[in-house]
Amino acid sequence: MSTTTAGIIAEFNPFHNGHSTHISETRQITGCKHVIAVMSGNFVQRGEPAICNKWQRTRMALLNGVDVVIEIPVQYVISGADYFARGSVGLLNAAGVIDALCFGSESGSLQEIIAAGHVLAEEPALYKQVLRDKLDKGASFAAAKGAALGACLGEVDEGLLTRPNNGLAMEYCKTLRLLNSPMGVFTTHRQQGGPSATKIRQSLLAGQDIGECVPQNVKNILQNIPKFAQLDDFSDIFRYLLYTKTDAVNSLAEGLGNRFRRLCSDFSTISGLLGAVKTKRYTYTRLQRDVLKIILDILPQDMDTFDRHGGVQYIRVLGFRKEAAGIVGEMSRNASLPVITNGAAMDELLQTDGLGAKMLSQELMAGDIYRLISGESGGYCSERGAGIIIV
């Protein structure tokens, strides 16, 4: 199957050589002319601020093989894998120009991943029963979900159900199934070897050289960033909000809000507090996302409302390559959601009283909060005047 435009889902936090490989392999196995990436903005799915802002990471992507970058709304980024998949795949499906999705997976077994996605979409009785039994016995949701999938799928490689990119890939296929999307599906095999994005971020934060892990143009961008953002930068803000954002704190599952409040005076940093709050049932990453939801004032009822009304409400283009301007124009004509490519389109959406305005307003606020912590210049809602990146 040859495609004109392939979509990928990424965070580029930061862009590294593994991303370059994924992009080149996407072009090779799909035969596509263009690659469109949907990318997390200033916050990422691990429940952390991105190490550098969305505009810098957009430029990195465009300089290294991506033709168009679209932002995944922050609400869907800092929620669980199912929400992240619904937001990212929903954007690709709504764009009206994308023929195929190509994701990375540790297993490389596309048919097994698709089969798992279908189980997640359909939730047969056996899946529900095993999931419920494991949760009742105190297993984390991720462990219970893996056991339930294993019961339904039978003999599969253990890594299929335990590795993180496999898990996201299954959620992507689940969303495609639920959307009845016509997009084709491809996977590249993520091989071991080379530093991970986590190791690269740790090196950057420690002031260490990242060697040959990233393209030279990415290294140049990173060298000009005066301060890399970290979740602990929000520690004072978060401890204050634990006492003032009553609705948000009380909305956390199973008394987690009270546990945060009870322990927060014993720790000066979010990381220290999370180490004390973490349990077998709640992973560190899950708790980090809860922290960000309080900081960014994103409530469970917001997500329920967005989901009941179609999920993502607009397509925001962060940047494109000049030679790909035609695909952006085609998207503006064919997309099933409003496409934002400039300040005028943003203002038009903000002036409505719909959910798109609320989603975008929360995104703008998240950008303001990120800038305050990272020391970047810009006033209230300054993203309204930010031009998209064109290379």
pLDDT per residue as tens, the chain (391 positions): 456 899 999 999 999 999 999 999 999 999 999 999 999 999 999 999 999 999 999 999 999 999 999 999 999 999 999 999 999 999 999 999 999 999 999 888 899 999 999 999 999 999 999 999 999 998 888 889 999 999 999 887 767 888 889 999 999 999 999 999 999 999 998 766 567 899 999 999 999 999 889 999 999 999 999 999 999 999 999 999 999 998 889 888 878 888 899 999 999 999 999 999 988 777 889 999 999 999 999 998 999 999 999 999 999 999 999 999 999 999 999 999 999 999 999 999 999 989 999 999 999 999 999 998 888 887 788 888 788 999 9
- Looking at the structure, tell me whether residues 221 and 263 fall in a common domain: no
Angle value at C-alpha 244, between 240 and 246, nearest 5 degrees = 130
- Looking at the structure, tell me whether residues 325 and 178 fall in a common domain: yes
* Non-local CB neighbours of 23 within 8 Å, separated by 6+ positions: 8, 35, 64, 65, 66
- Looking at the structure, tell me whether residues 205 and 244 fall in a common domain: no
Q: Encoding tokens for residue 227?
A: 């301060």
Domain end residue (candidates: 301, 334, 357) = 301
Q: Which domain holds residue 245?
A: 231-301
Q: How many CA atoms lie within 13 A of 332 on its CB side?
A: 11
Q: Encoding tokens for residue 150?
A: 């294993």
- Looking at the structure, tell me whether residues 30 and 90 fall in a common domain: yes
Domain end residue (candidates: 262, 278, 301) = 301
Give a yes or no: residue 1 inside a domain: yes
Give a yes or no: residue 78 inside a domain: yes
Domain end residue (candidates: 268, 301, 334) = 301
- Looking at the structure, tell me whether residues 380 and 235 fall in a common domain: no
- Looking at the structure, tell me whether residues 85 and 178 fall in a common domain: yes
Give a yes or no: residue 238 inside a domain: yes
Give a yes or no: residue 83 inside a domain: yes
- Looking at the structure, tell me whether residues 39 and 100 fall in a common domain: yes
Give a yes or no: residue 157 inside a domain: no
Q: How many CA atoms lie within 13 A of 30 on its CB side?
A: 29
- Looking at the structure, tell me whether residues 364 and 380 fall in a common domain: yes
102: left (phi over 0), alpha (psi -120 to 50) or beta: beta
- Looking at the structure, tell me whether residues 365 and 242 fall in a common domain: no
Domain count, the chain: 2
Distance CA 387, CA 289 (A): 29
7 closest CA partner among 77, 119, 85: 85
CATH number for the domain harbouring residue 362: 3.40.50.620
- Looking at the structure, tell me whether residues 262 and 378 fall in a common domain: no
Check: CB of residue 85 under 8 Å from CB of residue 171.
yes
Cβ neighbours around 276 below 10 Å, total? 13
Give a yes or no: residue 17 inside a domain: yes
What predicted TM-score, i.e. pTM, was given to this entire model? 0.95
Give a yes or no: residue 131 inside a domain: no
Give a yes or no: residue 121 inside a domain: no
- Looking at the structure, tell me whether residues 210 and 98 fall in a common domain: yes
Distance CA 56, CA 203 (A): 18
Interior/surface letters 324-343, b for 16+ CB within 10 angstroms, e for the rest: beebbebbbeebebbbbbee
DSSP state of 386: P
* Longest CA–CA separation in the chain, Å: 58
* Non-local CB neighbours of 288 within 8 Å, separated by 6+ positions: 46, 47, 48, 231, 270, 274
- Looking at the structure, tell me whether residues 22 and 85 fall in a common domain: yes
153 closest CA partner among 135, 136, 173: 173
